Amino acid sequence: MPEATWLRASITTAALTLGLAACAGETASGAQPLRGALYTGFTLIDPVERTVSEDAWLVVEEGRIAAFGAGPSPEGAFSELHELSGHYALPGFIDVHGHLTAGPHAVQILDGQPTVTIDSVDEISEFNARMALAFGVTTVRNPGADPEASAAYDIRVSTGEWTGPDAYHAGAVIQPPPFGGAAFDYPRTEEDWRAEAARQAALGMRYFKLYQGLTEAELEVGARVAHEHGLEPIAHLDEVSWTRAAELGVRGFLHALPTSPELLEPDVREDYINGRSPDSRFMYQWFERVEFDGPQMQALFTTLAETGATVDLTLQVNALMTGPDAVERVYPPEHRSYIHPQTLEGLLSFGAMALADWTEKDTERAEAAMARVFEFARRLDAAGVPIGIGTDGPGGGPSFGTELELMVDAGFETWRVLELATAGGARVMGLEHQTGRWAAGYEADFVFLRANPLDDITHARDVGWVMSNGKLHDVNPLTHDVATSGEAARPVTSAPR
């Protein structure tokens, strides 16, 4: 038989006989330098090229992609051989909005005031990290937490003490009280602003997260000090429009919730402002009134495209805010055991608060408004605004698949959804030359699915193996402490955050 075929056959045999980390030793062609690890037999899915290659192979050296292809595997002596037939391999998923190191939402009394906190808890962060990886997420943008906890996360993952995805963090979220604790900060003077940006930069943060309670003047300072300290300003806004914030230097917008009155046309603006109650109903009320072809939204699309600002779509946040029953769809009981019990509890109680007094009419209107949320997502994409897939969860987990399903519901082609989940997320995070693609020299970050996601996007949750920086992980040990029999399911009264 041809040499390559023989080699492949012998390698497969070696892998089968010696187990998954078999040492191949010398090959037929004689002694050759070790060439890292060889993975064979899987189906390669390339969401950028939109190609599917059966019987594919991959060589990983020092955590990076050395070579890949289909058909007979390359010659060489490999330190490891892994046979992965029956699996569909894609670049690892990228959650551009995953609260890896945030602890549970809580209300604490700080300085005599009731304060909303999301203080980091090591045990929870460690759990989040494993669950992210177990669902194929190899890179996370962590949009705000105690920067010391996030810096510690990076060290623990790089030393192997914890197993988790690569993370790029925003530090303490800049937001006035009643938000507080280590995950929030509210600078009051120019000097305070600079000191906080300097502190976060020194701790290795990449983003500076500006939150919805800030005034336009504060956003201006925040974006400025972020840039001065090499941090990328990202924002979750409400009052101040995305157009204005982009002009002020904000580079990334979080959530499909551009709910500023300024982005509505003048004839419906007053009505929106007057009808706004201090709860979450504004989320659908804004979408009921928006005119995507009007001057305000057209200016937004143009400004975002021109400034290169990115948007993370966390469509499940919109989906959750469609009423008390939505939680059953977005966080079905079978997914809940993959969320840390404390996180789940915080999530559900805050959700209950957000949807208190919600009537059937509210639900009807919010559900109808989802069509406009979906249109917003498609409009951003059509305008050339880089969009990424975010969960707003603890950093992936089963929610990542939920978000992919919502993108399909929103009318995106499955190929496009898979591209946004990988290379698109890398683009949003400025990592497009580093990860998210089948390309030599890139980080060896991959997810090996047990079924083809092109046939059904829900297969994106059916992860067999995941590789992060060249290290292959079996999903089962990652989830060893998760109760999968459904006993973690608990009665739910309302939807999360």
Is 381 or 392 the residue whose CB approaches Zn ion more closely?
392
Phi first, then psi: what are they for 282, rounded to 5°? -60, -25
Is 154 or 392 the residue whose CB approaches Zn ion more closely?
392
Q: What one-character-per-residue DSSP string does 286-339 give?
A: HHHH--TTSHHHHHHHHHHHHHT-EEEE-HHHHHHTT-TTHHHHHS-HHHHTTS
**CA dist., res. 497 & res. 495, Å (int):** 7
Amino acid (1-letter code) at residue 242: W
Nearest to 262 by CA among 236, 294, 235, 233: 294
Query: Residue 342 CB, nearest distance to Zn ion (Å)?
Result: 17
Tabulate helix, strand, coil % of the chain (nearest 5): 40, 20, 40
Count of chain residues binding Zn ion (CB under 5 A): 1
Phi first, then psi: what are they for 189, rounded to 5°? -125, 160
Per-residue string for binding with Zn ion, 341-380, x by CB under 5 A?
A: ----------------------------------------
- Near Zn ion in 266-305, by CB under 5 A: none
Query: Residue 443 CB, nearest distance to Zn ion (Å)?
Result: 25
Query: Residue 81 CB, nearest distance to Zn ion (Å)?
Result: 41
Query: Residue 243 CB, nearest distance to Zn ion (Å)?
Result: 22
Query: Residue 390 CB, nearest distance to Zn ion (Å)?
Result: 8
- Near Zn ion in 18-37, by CB under 5 A: none
For Zn ion, the nearest residue by Cβ is 392
Query: Residue 173 CB, nearest distance to Zn ion (Å)?
Result: 9
The answer to whether the CB of 15 falls within 8 A of the CB of 82 is: yes
The residue assigned the tokens 């917008």 is 253
Is 323 or 394 the residue whose CB approaches Zn ion more closely?
394
Cα torsion through 195, 201, 203, 207, rounded to 10 = 120
Query: Residue 391 CB, nearest distance to Zn ion (Å)?
Result: 9
Is 254 or 426 the residue whose CB approaches Zn ion more closely?
254
Query: Residue 222 CB, nearest distance to Zn ion (Å)?
Result: 17
Q: Which two tokens stand for residue 247?
A: 């002009």
Is 461 or 497 the residue whose CB approaches Zn ion more closely?
497
119 binds Zn ion (CB under 5 A): no
Query: Residue 444 CB, nearest distance to Zn ion (Å)?
Result: 29
The set of residues, in sequence order, having a beta carbon less than 8 Å from that of 419 and lying 6+ positions away, is 47, 48
For β-strands 166-170 and 173-174, DSSP reports them as unpaired
The set of residues, in sequence order, having a beta carbon less than 8 Å from that of 468 and lying 6+ positions away, is 92, 133, 138, 164, 165, 166, 445
Is 393 or 424 the residue whose CB approaches Zn ion more closely?
393
Query: Residue 495 CB, nearest distance to Zn ion (Å)?
Result: 15
- Near Zn ion in 43-102, by CB under 5 A: none
Is 238 or 392 the residue whose CB approaches Zn ion more closely?
392
Nearest to 337 by CA among 144, 484, 171, 164: 484
Is 40 or 318 the residue whose CB approaches Zn ion more closely?
318
Sign of the C-alpha dihedral, residues 143, 145, 148, 154?
A: negative
Is 41 or 144 the residue whose CB approaches Zn ion more closely?
144
- Near Zn ion in 378-407, by CB under 5 A: 392
Is 395 or 401 the residue whose CB approaches Zn ion more closely?
395
In 153-237, the DSSP E strands lie at 166-170, 173-174, 184-185, 207-210, 232-235
**CA dist., res. 256 & res. 259, Å (int):** 9
Which parts of this chain interact with Zn ion (CB under 5 A)?
392
